[in-house]
A and B are shown apart, each in its own frame.
Chain A
Amino acid sequence: MLRGEALAAMRGDRKLFTDLDFDLHAGELLYIAGPNGSGKTTLLRMICGLVIPSAGQVLWKDENIHTLGEEFRADLLYCGHLGALKDDLSGLENLRFSCRLGGTPVSEDEAVMALSRMGLAGREDLPAKVLSQGQKRRVGLARLLLMRARLWVLDEPFTALDVGAIELLRETMRTHLAGGGLLVLTTHQQVEIEAAAVKRIEMGP
């Protein structure tokens, strides 16, 4: 379903990677591993369509993602290492805005429910600037509970989370994969996630 063909990326004048291929089907998980600066985030952003490959192409349902455009983006959920939270808005407002932006408007009750499942019950109305790093990440990840995207692309999702939150996130990922979703992620932590198939890409130094 998601396929990369002979992908190459440059950073400045330097080649980050070349001739990278992968193929991912429903229910499968793709780990992207490698040291810092090996181009993991660039590859994730390329899969999302933010970075245009200097060679090769990314295909979704056998069509180039840039040709598909909005159709592809409706199936996509990307969590970068930036949380996309506004300090002046509350967790609830932030969550509802990002869902609407992603094309899935949610009611206030649904959003409150998702936040409390993420362990933020009673803190929905606090402005994001008073939340801790981990709590901010939880607000960002609450989107995973609400949006119905087929393909999740997550950049270091376990960073700054405590044991309980990691467990919750694993559970969420398992449900997503079991329902035929696709998951691409980078992580430094060793977290086991059951999937129909687990694939790995080792990025060079």
Chain B
Amino acid sequence: MNGGTMLGAMRSVLARDLMLAGRRPVDVVTALFFFVIVVSLFPLGIGPEGQILHAIAPGVVWVAALLASMLSLTRLFEADFVDGTLEQMILAPQPLSLIVLGKVSAHWLVTGAPLVLMSPLLGLQFGLSGEALMILALALLLGTPALSFIGALGAALTVGLRGGGALLALLILPLCVPVLIFGAGAVDAAATGMETGAHLSLLGAFLVMALCFGPWVTAAALRIALD
């Protein structure tokens, strides 16, 4: 098996999932709308006072992004499990971890990337400065793929189970704490005029770690789930 066909399987899974998302655009915008609505609810619950909103903005946007990615991830493997494609993926003569990588990449492109693009607009509603907005988008750009990898693991562990969504959140949210802390921390630091380098490099480190180990562990979880 040469490298070309190995990456070929990953690419074809990626292309297929993007194509499927294109045929069902509703699924794509749901997560984005959820994100926007959750963020917009906070001022309604807390009051329109600029000072407070400004202080909570990083946390609010990050928690909403975390919830939105968890929400969309519950279905990551479910459809493939129900129609038998997941079996074929496990039996494919390519490493399952690469196929998982393809699926997670497609998922992030479809649901994670829009969150990143939308986030400066939401930050603006909370009165964040220009630099903080940039850092917000940058931190989400580093953080949301890591969340996707962590969430994929939860999706693999709960595939085919009743009440998968709530269970997934219970399993995965504690593991997302470091990403949340440093992601929101970076924006917070930018908003108060402090150095953001440390936060961002730690976020980058989490991403690299999630990228290296996530697909591999997720593949193991999928094999267990279909046993």
Contacts and interface: CB of A to CB of B under 8 A. Distances in A.
A84 B88 contact: yes
Q: Is the interface of A mostly helix, strand, loop or mixed?
A: loop
Interface string A50-62: 1110000000000
B195 interface: no
Q: Range of interface residues on chain B?
A: 20 to 34
A103 B83 contact: no
Interface stretch (B5-13, B31-39, B158-166): B5-13
B88 A88 contact: no
A88 B94 contact: no
Contacts, number: 79
Contact of B85 (A70, A86, A93, A103): A86
Interface in B76-100: 79, 82-85, 87-95, 99
Given A52-B227, A80-B84, A103-B9, A86 B91 contact: no
Contact of A88 (B23, B95, B227): B23
Interface residues of A, number: 29
Contacts of A103: 1, 5, 9, 92-94
Contacts of A81: 84
Interface in A60-109: 70-71, 73-74, 76, 78, 80-89, 93, 97-98, 100-103, 105
Interface of A: 48-52, 70-71, 73-74, 76, 78, 80-89, 93, 97-98, 100-103, 105
Task: Give 4 nearest A-B pairs by CB, closest first.
Answer: A82-B84, A74-B93, A84-B84, A88-B23
